[in-house]
A and B are shown apart, each in its own frame.
Chain A
Amino acid sequence: MMEKLYLVARIADTRVALRSRTIHSVVTVGQPVEVPAAPPHVAGLFALRSRVFTLIDPHVVVGLPPVAVAQGQRVIVVDVADHGYALIADEIEDVCFIEAPETRIAGRLSPGWARVADAMIEHRGASLLVVDPAQFVTLPVASAA
């Protein structure tokens, strides 16, 4: 049953579904600390129960301008290769079972989204992209410059 459990959220201005097993938790961020000279999608560091997490701004990953992080912002915590990361979420909608099968992505996505999206899924009359949070972290950011 667990593989049917999804987190539905709006990240980088887009509604997406994240497979629940890829996610550690959803938390509220404290005041983040900047990391000078880090890649542009690193929005900072914040501490949560003695662990330090790296904040990732999905906007930058998909090619949008970065957003400012406010205290109290909700973030999606994921573990990638033993390090903790948090994706900034515009909005957390729901955690729910989606019975519909994952389908191949139809249509052409922007290069940014194409990198992070795995599949599509139907949920309450809308098509959602299924994204792999690890891709937001590990993928090199497109070097526009």
Chain B
Amino acid sequence: MDDLLNDFLAETAEILAEAGGAIVAWEADPGDRERLDAIFRFVHTIKGSSGFLSLPRVTALSHAAEDALDQVRRGNRPANAVLVTAILGIVDRLSLLCDALGNGGVEPAGDDADVIDALAFVSEEPAAPEPAEIRLRREDDLAAELQAWRSIRVPLPLLDSVMTGVTDIVLARNEFARMLREAGADPSTIATFDRLSDSIAAMRQSVSQMRMQRIDKLFAPLPRIVRDLAQDLGKKIAFSTSGGEVELDREMMENIRDPLIHIVRNAVDHGIEPLDQRVAAGKGVTAQLSVSARQSGNQIEIVVRDDGRGLSPDALVAKAVAAQVVTATEARGLTPRERLELIFRPGFSTAAKVTSISGRGVGMDIVKSNIEKIGGVVELRNEEGRGLTIILRVPMTLTIISGLMVRAAGQYFAIPRGAVREILLESSDSVRIDRVGGGELATVRGEQFPLLRLETILDRAVDADDDADDRAVVIVRPGQGQSYALSVAAIHDHEELVIKPAAPLIMATGLYAGTTLPDSGRPVLLLDVQGLLAAAGVDASEAGRNREEAAETEAAARGATQLLLFRDTNQRVRGVRLSVIERVEEVPALALFESAGAIQVQIGDDIFPVHAATLPEGHGAVKLLRLHDGRSVLCYPIEAVIDIVRMPDAMQPSAAPGLIAGVALIGGDPVELIDPFWLMEQYETARAAGAGPRRPLCRLADDADGWGENFLAPILRDAGYRVASDGDSGDETPDVLLCLSDEGDICANLGGDVPVIRLRASAAAAGADDDTVYRYDRQALLDALRRRVGGERR
């Protein structure tokens, strides 16, 4: 019984969270039948399970909601704000009851008449029932219930124990591999072991995927929050989410939830102006607020964008000075970006007065520190007067990060790869180390960094066994606007590391961010790159280091275009603008198929074109870059993602338009840059051609001087027509005849019952009844064609 109840509570909590969002979306578009059906199913499911568990209050509540929704489904009742508010009231009461059930195990006694009565249908004007709308769609309900069977609920501890088990297997495998190597086992044993090894690796992969959840879950409560808040404040907000299919580690999700809600609340409360101010600013009354997620590499980017008033750097400074966060002198020295980042200072609140909604003592400083705690960054993009965009960039999993293993004082340490900007040998020509007044300074290609020696910070002696030639400098960027050089005895390698928190008394040193067990089986400490800085007592802020600052501004001026470097399936290194990549997808090779001579891929319920000539061989996984132009998606198969770099200034453009826009030098190597415009164009045209019923045939008549073929035909083909000229002896009857000479007599006998459009050479029409079209009036020509055959694309 307890198990049943727990299952019910878990399921109901999930349903209620989802329902809140669905109801709000439905309110925005009451005609959305599917949404209504979904909400109906939600309450129907709760009613069903609660009846089984004999929870009378839950049953009564869900029954009332189901009843009201059914009336709407039958067209007997309109969907309006009153109804939606009442249904939300029921959802809230259900949540309350479930909380009580979870704590006490029994349904508390009480009366729900208040919320149920709110549902009562008050019809101001009897809405005429529309018989055409009476559809019950019971089959769909059934199908949806079947869907639920395809997943199961697993308690988290079980999942964690599977994870631990697999980690153990991996460690045992490594130990075993070492023993095999040392014992000099025969090849057949090694081959078998390798096979075992591969399946273990695959299993480890699957297990980490089990911990992943769609970010949808994180977004589900947001529509409700925005709606309620907007209603309280009398604001009109169109809220949208996208990228809900992006997956994120469950634990990570927990850590983002509160910061994200806080940011969204802030946007509604402070960012978006009251109606009158919006009107005065010449903006639409309805504000736009969007939350979107996308994956890039092993990072997830969550973007919260509003079109409100944005941040005013001057006002921020004034407030910061008033709140004694900075002194007036300090404030004068701040760069525009530093002024914006004042909102991250503890003790700062952007609201003129603390409101009940977002001013509850949680400031952006908490948001920032929470995100940084999990290895993420918060970024601001401000357009004063036009809106603010807040970007949260977090690693995909909390537990597995890519780490750089370094050695110091005779032992290994890990550094999060994400914080490493560059690695150089100390003996390299591009590094100069100076002793300046007791401190050390590393100059790398003209840029200066404070130098920290890892042994010194850890209070250990340099290991005598270390080779001085191995000493390396790691340029570390612990956060926005900070960087330093960390000197270590040697660089070991990169590894994917499972990070666990270290014991509190170790974390208290402030030097370590956790422990990890690499494949060697010996624990390694993960360094806290921010903590090292604090321990060394060095100011690593980049402000004032002139060259660096200049580079920053320059990058900002170029819109900080970033380039995703990847290895193509033919092993070539290529790059593409990061902004056109929606995410990197990894799909089984079997998801790709050939249809009508084109390669396509199935991802979830969608089918996208793939830029490939042949299907991939083998049954492994295929990595796809998902290009998105705002309307359609194209997948580009790649071998591996290499890095994300800043877009170089200079590019040698290709001679002719094609897949490669040009070649640029990145890190001294030539890299081919993909032209996403050309790429999308190929598939866009193909799609239009394939999707249309048939492209109409346009015959050019009397094209004596070739003007038709050379000038006109390309325009027509672009517009989606096929073109035949006098010379073509096709026997297909054209859909339209274009007569290129204004004499008329030549075309007269060609026409038959095919519509004819005559073109004239003079710009002026001959008379009012002249139905000819001037031959350089492109729009008139296309309009005329569309009128005759209706085959124009778009």
* Residues in A lying within 8 Å of B, measured CB to CB: 30-31, 33-39, 42, 45-47, 49-52, 54, 81, 83, 85, 137
Contacts and interface: CB of A to CB of B under 8 A. Distances in A.
A13 to B, nearest CB: 23
Instruction: Report the 6 A-B pairs with minimum CB-CB distance, sorted nearest first.
Output: A36-B458, A45-B523, A50-B167, A54-B503, A50-B168, A52-B515
B503 A33 contact: no
A54 B522 contact: no
Contacts of A38: 505-506, 509
A47 B521 contact: yes
Interface string B583-606: 000000000000000000000000
Interface string B176-187: 000000000000
B505 A54 contact: yes
A52 B500 CA distance: 8
Contacts of B103: none
B522 A33 contact: yes
Contact of B411 (A34, A39, A47): A34
* Most chain A beta-carbon contacts within 10 A, residue among B171, B457, B503: B503
A31 B522 contact: yes
A42 B411 contact: no
A36 B504 contact: no
Interface of B: 164, 167-168, 171, 409, 411, 457-460, 500-506, 508-509, 511-512, 515-517, 521-525, 535
Contacts of B460: 36
A31 B535 CA distance: 28
B519 to A, nearest CB: 12
Given A35-B525, A46-B523, A47-B523, A54 B506 contact: yes
B522 A137 contact: no
Contacts of B459: 36-37
A54 B502 contact: yes
A39 B505 contact: yes
A45 B516 CA distance: 11
Given A30-B522, A49-B168, A83-B501, 7 more contacts: A35-B512, A37-B459, A38-B505, A45-B502, A52-B515, A52-B523, A83-B504
Given A36-B459, A46-B523, A81 B506 contact: no
A145 to B, nearest CB: 14
Nearest to B458: A36
B509 A45 contact: no
Contacts of B457: 37
B522 A50 contact: no
A47 B458 contact: no
Contacts of B508: 39
A74 B409 CA distance: 27
A144 B516 CA distance: 32
Contact of B515 (A37, A45, A49): A45
Contact of A36 (B168, B409, B505, B522): B409
Contacts of B502: 45, 52, 54
B393 to A, nearest CB: 28
Contacts of A37: 457-459, 509, 511, 535
A51 B411 CA distance: 19
A101 B515 CA distance: 41
Contact of A42 (B506, B511, B517, B524): B506
A83 B503 contact: yes
A103 B655 CA distance: 93
A33 B411 contact: yes
Contacts of B515: 45, 52
A42 B164 CA distance: 25
B525 A42 contact: no
Contacts of B535: 37
B231 to A, nearest CB: 42
A88 to B, nearest CB: 15
Nearest to A83: B503
B310 to A, nearest CB: 44
A119 to B, nearest CB: 26
Contacts of B509: 35, 37-39
A137 B517 contact: no
A54 B164 CA distance: 18
A31 to B, nearest CB: 7
Contacts of B168: 49-50
A75 to B, nearest CB: 14
Contacts of A47: 171, 517, 521-523
B8 to A, nearest CB: 29
A137 B167 CA distance: 27
A42 B505 contact: yes
A54 B508 CA distance: 14
Nearest to A39: B505
A137 B505 contact: yes
Contact of A45 (B164, B171, B525): B525
Nearest to B501: A83
Contacts of B523: 33, 45-47, 52
A85 B504 CA distance: 11
B200 to A, nearest CB: 13
Contacts of B411: 33-34
Contacts of B505: 38-39, 42, 54, 137
* Most chain A beta-carbon contacts within 10 A, residue among B167, B168, B504: B504
A140 to B, nearest CB: 9
Nearest to B517: A47
Nearest to B512: A35
A46 B411 CA distance: 13
Contacts of A137: 503, 505
A113 to B, nearest CB: 20
B406 to A, nearest CB: 13
Nearest to A41: B505
A47 B524 CA distance: 10
* Most chain B beta-carbon contacts within 10 A, residue among A30, A38, A50, A137: A50
Contacts of A81: 504
* Most chain B beta-carbon contacts within 10 A, residue among A31, A36, A81: A36
* Most chain A beta-carbon contacts within 10 A, residue among B409, B458, B505, B516: B505
B407 to A, nearest CB: 12
Nearest to A34: B411
A7 to B, nearest CB: 22
* Most chain B beta-carbon contacts within 10 A, residue among A31, A39, A46, A52: A52
Nearest to B518: A47
Given A42-B505, A54-B506, A33 B409 contact: no
Given A83-B503, A137-B505, A33 B511 contact: no
Nearest to B455: A36
A5 to B, nearest CB: 26
A35 B460 CA distance: 10
5 contacts: A33-B411, A33-B522, A33-B525, A34-B411, A52-B515
Contacts of B522: 30-31, 33, 47
A35 B171 contact: no
